[in-house]
Amino acid sequence: MRIAQVAPLYESVPPKLYGGTERVVSYLTDELIRQGHEVTLFASGDSLTEARLVPVCKQSLRLASGCIDPLPHHVLLIERVLDEKENFDLIHFHIDYLHFPRTQSENVATLTTLHGRLDIPDLAPLYQRFRDVPVVSISDSQRAPLPWLNWQRTVYHGLPAKSLKFQPAAGKYLAFLGRVSPEKGVDHAIAIARRTGVELKIAAKIDRVDQAYFDAVIKPLLDGPGVEFVGEISHSEKSEFLGGALALLTPVQWPEPFGLVMIEAMACGTPVIGFPRGSVPELVESGVSGFIARNVKEAAEMVRAVPALSRRRCRDYFERCFSAARMCDDYVQVYKRLLELKEGPALSTSDQVVSETQLVPRYPTRL
């Protein structure tokens, strides 16, 4: 198949530092090429890919000092993609809803993976207007606010098996990896660590919008022993940081759509202790790849239970459920089905849901 992958421009593909969506696009693009497909990647010019790269802007926008408004760059991105629409069998968008007004009337097969939260009230009228656009969720929980969309499938993210190194020996510290924001629960991670007496290392970026929160809430909590703020780290540092930990803490305070860091930790053999919000209960197999805790007290108790878990079983669970090859296979099934629908008689949304149930088994398959 001739496939276009359309990435956000905020980070390069793959990102130099933090960036979940762009990293997933990179893994998917490389795996599609490995499986023999012809792929064009629309992304920032500092991206590195085996695909044909169409650079829409010179540098990823978050790291570009001269970028004040990212929206014009994404408008141009959509136009660049549609300029080449005849070159593709299918265009796979990863920029949420920005392209909907332009692509709805185009005679081209499209698929959109929704990477963000969908429980924001402002979104409902927009998605209602474009409810026939084929979309994919990255967790079942992500769908809950908008169950009536034209969902094709839930496709969990995946990583290349060799992207992170399995470390069989458990470390002696707790890890937090992500970004500093109220919804990520850094303050709860600190509370868990302090309750257990186990050192916590925080590798996180601070966006401009979250700087005041960090200064007012998190920075005062860093005083005293037992908590080390490492700052933002690159992907090349994750094997050591995550693999060297006893457990990863994800005490999220919001409906996390996926949480790539959880499967990154599992790839290293490091169990995850998370709160039961969003995708966490879908990704963490309690007693195998970590534990689900309802609050700080329970999470502290789970930390003490982590040594009983097998890091090998945790890694095996990752390989079975969250590989890039599995992710790619799932998407290819959706691509083929959409192309068949485009070539054949149109089906109603309800008919599509029935077909999905018939064609697609539920997963991941638990160990």
Please state the domain count of the chain: 2
* pLDDT of residue 118 exceeding 90: yes
Read off the tokens for 212.
């005041």
Residue 225 contacts residue 158 (beta carbons within 8 Å):
no
Q: Is residue 366 part of a domain?
A: no
Residue 306's CATH number: 3.40.50.2000
Express as a percent the part of the chain with pLDDT over 70.
93
Which residues does residue 337 pair with via DSSP β-bridges, in sequence order?
Answer: none
Domain co-membership, 136 together with 196: no
User: Where in the sequence is the domain holding 198, given as residue range(s)?
Assistant: 173-321
Domain co-membership, 39 together with 179: no
* pLDDT of residue 130 exceeding 60: yes
28 band by pLDDT with thresholds 50, 70 and 90: very high
Length of the chain, please? 367
306-350 pLDDT tens trace: 999 999 999 999 999 999 999 999 999 999 999 998 886 544 444
Higher-confidence residue of 352 and 276: namely: 276
Domain co-membership, 194 together with 315: yes
Domain co-membership, 231 together with 339: no
pLDDT value at residue 19:
73
Domain co-membership, 178 together with 283: yes
Domain co-membership, 113 together with 228: no
Q: Is residue 167 part of a domain?
A: no
Q: Is residue 164 part of a domain?
A: no
Q: Is residue 365 part of a domain?
A: no
Read off the tokens for 328.
């790619």
Q: Is residue 271 part of a domain?
A: yes
pLDDT value at residue 187:
96
Amino acid at 162: K
pLDDT value at residue 17:
76
Domain co-membership, 237 together with 105: no
Which residues does residue 112 pair with via DSSP β-bridges, in sequence order?
Answer: 93, 135
Domain co-membership, 242 together with 153: no
Q: Which of 53-67, 90-104, 129-143, 156-170 has the lowest mean pLDDT?
A: 53-67
Q: Is residue 163 part of a domain?
A: no
Question: Which bin fits 185, alpha (ψ -120 to 50), beta or left (φ > 0)?
Answer: left
d(CA 198, CA 339): 53
349-359 pLDDT tens trace: 444 443 443 33
